[in-house]
Structure 1
C-alpha cells in the first residue's frame, strides 16, 4: 500500500471513529434524559420546586398559572417529548428552584468538577504506574512479598467507598495533622489535595491491578524475550516494551474511570463542601429541579463520550499495531 493510500485509510478510520462516537453521544443523551425525566417525575410533582417547596402558601390561581407557564398542564407524553427536544438542542431552560438559566448554572459549576476529575485521573495514573514499576522491579523472595502487599492494598483501596475514604483523610490530614483544609472552596492547591486523593485512590487501585496482570503477560511475551536476546537491559525492556503494552488495557479503561470520577464527584463535593456539578446535581435532585438534573446529566454523558473519543485517538499512538489497517489480499506493498 502506498503512503498516500495509508494516509487515506487512517483518515477514514478516524472519521468513522468520530461518527461512531457522535452517534453514541446522541444515544447516550436520549437514554439518560429519558431515565432522569422518568425518575424525577416519579418522585413527585416538580411544581413544588417551582413554587418554593412543599411548605409554600400559594393560591390556586398561581398554581394553575405556573402549570401553564412550565407546560405541566400538558399530557405527560407531550412533556416528555418537549423535554427530549430541548435536551437534544441543549436548551435546558430555567431552573425551577433557582430561577436562573440552567446554562449559566452549568457554566459556573462544570469547570470545578472538570478540574477535580482531571487531576484525580492524572494522579490515579501516576499511582498506578508507580505501583506497576515497583512490582516489576522487585525480585526474589522480597519481590514476591512486595507484590503480595501491593496486590492487597490495591484490592482494598479499589473497593473503598469515597465517603469513607474522604472521612478518613479529613480526620488524618485536616483534624489530626492540620496540614490540609477540611473544606475546598475553589482551585487553591491545598484545598484540592484531599478531594483529589479521595477520588483518585480507588481508581488507582483498579488501574494498578489491571496493569500488574498485563505486565506479567507482556514480560513473558516473545517480543520481550527477543529484546533481551538483543542485549536489552531489564530496565530498557520494561520501559520501552513491556510497560507500554501493559498500559494498553488500563488506557482502554480510562474512559470508564473518568465517568466514575464524575459520578464520584457528587459524594466528594458534598463531603468537602466544594462547589461543582456533582453538588449542584445533588441539590437539584433533592428538590426535583428537572431542568438542572437533566442538563447536568447530559453534560456528564457528553463529557464521557468526549473522553472515549480522545482515548480512541490516543491508543494508536501507544499501540503501533492499531495504526495500520490490514491490507487487502493481493495488494502490493
Structure 2
C-alpha cells in the first residue's frame, strides 16, 4: 500500500467519522426538540386546565341549581344523587385532581347540560368554527397583501391613509363592528342575512367582522417589513437587472417580508378562536365560541374546561408548526443549523 493510498484512506475515515458525528448530533437535537415540544404541550394544557378550573369555581352560584333547573319539588336526596353522579360532592381539590387524571386519559368529562361527552360536543361544533375562521383567515391574508403592496414605499399620503386604516381596524371592537355591518347590510340594504348559519350568504358578515382586526395587524406588519426590505441591497440588484417594480415587490420583497409575519400565525389563530365567541353569539351561529359562552352561562364546568383545553392545544400545536416551518422557508436559518 502506497503512502498516497494510506493518506487517502485516513482522510476518508476522518470524513466518515465527522459525518457520523454530525448525524448523531442532528439526531440528538431532533430528540431534544421533540421532548421539549411534548413538555410544552403538557405544561400549556395543565396551566389552561388549572386556571380555567379555578376561574369557573370562583363564579358565583351553584352548578347544581343549573342542573336541577326545571325539575319540580327537588328533594335533598335528589340533589345529593346528582351531586354524587357528577362528583360535585367531593372536595374541590379532589374534583381538580380527578379532572386532571381524566384529561391525561383523554377523557374531558360529560357536559352537565347536554349530557354527552365533552369531546362529542366539541366535535359537533368544530366544523362551523373551522369554516368561519378559515374564511376569515383567507380574507385577512388576501386583503393585507393587497394593501401592503399598494401602500408600502409609496407617497406619505398613502402611508398616512394606511396607518389610519390599520389603527381603526385594530382598535374597533368586534361586537360594535358586527352591529354596524348588521344594521347597514342586513336590516337596511337586506343584502345578506343577519343571523343563522345556513348557506354561504350567512358567512359574509361574520367573516368580515372577524377579519377586519386581523387585516389591520397583518397590513401593518407586512407594510413595515416591505418598506424595510425595499432598501435592502438585493432589491437594488434586482432593479439593476431590469426586473420590473411589480415583480420586485410581489416575487421578492413580499416573500422576504412575509417570513416575520409567519411568526404571528399562532397568535392570529388564537385571536380568531377567541373572537368567535363574540361573533358566533352576535350572529347566532353555531360553533365552539358560542358553545363556550353557553357553557359559561350554565356553569357547565366540564364543557368550559374542554373548550379552553382545546384552544390551548391548537395554540401550542400551531406554535410548533411555525417553529418547524420557519427554518424551511428561511435558508439563513438552515445554514446556521
Q: TM-score range by the shorter chain?
A: 0.7 to 0.9
Determine whether 1:260 maps to 2:276. Answer: no
- 2:256 maps to 245
CA displacement, residues 301-327 of structure 1 (integer Å, 9 cap, x when unaligned) = 11112222232233234322223344x
Whether 2:244 is the aligned partner of 1:233: answer: yes
Whole-Å separation in 2 of the counterparts to 1:193 and 1:12: 49
CA-to-partner distance for each residue in 1:180-209, whole Å, 9 max, x for gaps?
A: 1101324x2111111111111101101111
Of the two structures, which has the highest relative contact order with CA contacts closer than 8 Å and spacing of 6 or more?
1
The answer on whether the counterparts of 1:94 and 1:291 sit within 8 Å (CA) in structure 2 is: yes
Offset of residue 14 of structure 1: 6.0
Change (3 A) 1:172 1:239: same
Contact 2:152-2:224 within 8 A present in 1 as well? no
Aligned equivalents of 2:321 and 2:331: distance in 1? 17
- Does the 8 Å contact 2:149/2:223 carry over to 1? no
Give the match for residue 106 of structure 1.
122
Of 39, 43, 51, the residue aligned with 1:35 is 51
Q: Tell me, yes or no, if the aligned pair for 1:26 and 1:88 is still in contact at 8 Å.
A: no
- 2:177 aligned residue (165, 168, 184): 165
Q: Deviations over 1:137-193 (max 9, x none)?
A: 74xxxx32122111101111111111011111111221222111101324x211111
Check whether the contact 1:277–1:296 (CA below 8 A) recurs between aligned residues: yes
The aligned counterpart of 2:85 is 69
1-structure distance, mates of 2:192, 2:27: 48
| Structure-2 separation of matches of 1:48 and 1:193 | 39
Residues 161-200 of structure 1: pairs in structure 2 closer than 5 A: 161-186=173-198, 188-200=199-211
| Alignment partner, residue 217 of structure 1 | 228
1:135, distance to aligned residue in structure 2 (A) = 0.8
Q: Does 1:311 align with 2:315?
A: no
Q: What's the Cα RMSD here?
A: 2.4
Q: Counterpart in 2 of 1:89?
A: 105
Correspondence for 1:149 among 150, 155, 161: 161
Query: Is 2:311 aligned against 1:300?
Result: yes
Contact 1:155 1:209 in 2 (8 A): no
User: Which of structures 1 and 2 has the bigger CA Rg?
Assistant: 2
Q: Which whole-Å deviations, capped at 9, do the CAs of 1:44-94 have from their partners, x for residues lacking one? A: 3222233237x8641011111222222222221111111112123221221
Structure 2: which 5+ residue stretches go unaligned? 1-14
Answer yes or no: is the 8 Å Cα contact 1:128–1:208 preserved in 2. Answer: yes
Q: 1:128 to 1:251 in 2, by over 3 A?
A: same
Give 1:45's aligned residue.
62
1:103-149, CA deviations, whole angstroms, 9 ceiling, x for partnerless residues? 221110112111211211121111111110101374xxxx3212211
Aligned residues: 319
C-alpha deviation, 1:210, in angstroms: 1.2
CA deviations over 1:20-66 (Å, ceiling 9, x no partner): 3332221111111111111111113222233237x864101111122
| TM-score, scaled to structure 1 | 0.88
Change (3 A) 1:57 1:129: farther
Q: 1:119 maps to what in 2?
A: 135
Tell me the SS of whatever aligns to 1:228: helix
Structure 1: 5+ residue stretches without partners: 327-333
CA contact (8 A) 2:169 2:213 kept: yes
**Greater displacement, 242-251 / 257-266:** 242-251
